Amino acid sequence: MGTVKRVRRRGVSALTLLCAMAVLASAPALGLTGTAYAAPGAPTSPAAPGAPTAPEPGTKSLEQVRKEIDELYRQAGTATDAYNQAESETKAQSERVVELAKQVAAGRERITSLKERAGAAARAQYRSSGLPPGARLALSGSPSQYLDGADRLRQGEKATADLLAELNRTQNDLQRYSKDASALWRQLEANRVKKETAKKEIEEKIKAAQELESKLEAEEKARLLQLEQDAQRQAQTAWLSSGVLKEINGAASEAGKAAIRFATAQVGKPYEWGAVGPRSYDCSGLTSQAWLAAGRGIPRTSQEQLRLLPKVAIKDMRPGDLIIYFDDASHVALYVGDGAIIHAPRPGRNITLAGAGSMPIKAVVRPDA
């Protein structure tokens, strides 16, 4: 550990990052890219053999295609977050509707019981010749009976008043429950529409990206992957070159270590939008389940994770923290230390290890602050 700290002070050598790889998983066995978090000065991998030549005039370059595909998948990620949020709200609202339905049923049973009690009191008065309690008391011929009757009269009047008050309260509660349930049903319908809209957008964006990629030859697809890795490497190198890791030396909490262990065990599994495991995950599905495995429930979506979890400065970042990416907070990853993250990138890619600076960072949040 002392060696790692000395290496960090010298600017984070490639050896440090290779150590992080060895701790988490073997890249060839798990399908990691292995180059996304290269340190400054690391050599760029050579272009794929037989890479296509420059495009003819009027056609898109492979780099333009790559950017277009990336943007489509990023838009799909934004729609996925909207879908997941609607799904989460729908679940919470459905549970509340069930709770309200139980309260409505209990309220109706209570009203029936109170009415039966009121009816019994009315029948008892009828059996006593219909005289009101005050009149019966006045006709009493015994002082002791009069006093006893007065006490019973006060008790009876209080019981009647309490019965009527409880009946009114229960009826008011029942009306409120019914009103709340109606409002929730409207919200559920709005969320259903929101989910369907987001689902349609996700499917359209993914289909458009896949169609673009399907038009490429095998060599072009290999080169496309190379361009994607090169772009990530360049972004990571620029991030590391800023000296950011010289200040980042926080140690993971026990919960953070548990979240990292969970996420590491998922490396190699496919990305699937809306998925929360165990066979596949989307980006926030992975981070939320990792922290759930660590004993901390956190919001389901990257946007809600950003909104509700405590924020920390990048220099104070520690393993186990979540890094939120892009201006719209449409992507999230788990920081594992030494400038690396584990994340579920996008459709067509597997959960992998990558550079923390390989995408534009918006914020860092801490589930166990």
Separation CA 124–CA 269 (nearest Å): 74
Separation CA 187–CA 99 (nearest Å): 16
- For residue 356, what are its two tokens? 């923390």
Catalytic residue among 205, 233, 318, 343: 343
Separation CA 173–CA 4 (nearest Å): 63
Catalytic residue among 65, 202, 227, 283: 283
- Strands 340-343 and 352-355: what pairing? antiparallel
Catalytic residue among 66, 195, 269, 331: 331
SS (H, E, C) the chain: CHHHHHHHHCCCCHHHHHHHHHHHCCHHHHCCCCCCCCCCCCCCCCCCCCCCCCCCCCCCCHHHHHHHHHHHHHHHHHHHHHHHHHHHHHHHHHHHHHHHHHHHHHHHHHHHHHHHHHHHHHHHHHHCCCCCHHHHHHCCCCHHHHHHHHHHHHHHHHHHHHHHHHHHHHHHHHHHHHHHHHHHHHHHHHHHHHHHHHHHHHHHHHHHHHHHHHCCCHHHHHHHHHHHHHHHHHHHHHHHHCCHHHCCCCCCCHHHHHHHHHHHHCCCCEECCCCECCCCECHHHHHHHHHHHCCCCCCCCHHHHHHHCCEECHHHCCCCCEEEECCCCCEEEEEEECCEEEECCCCCCECEEEECCCCCEEEEECCCC
Judge contact between 354 and 21, C-beta under 8 A.
Answer: no
Annotated catalytic, 19?
no
Annotated catalytic, 331?
yes
How far are the Cα atoms of 100, 126, 129, 156, 290 from residue 167, in angstroms, in the given order? 19, 22, 27, 16, 49
Give me the active site residues, please. Answer: 283, 331, 343
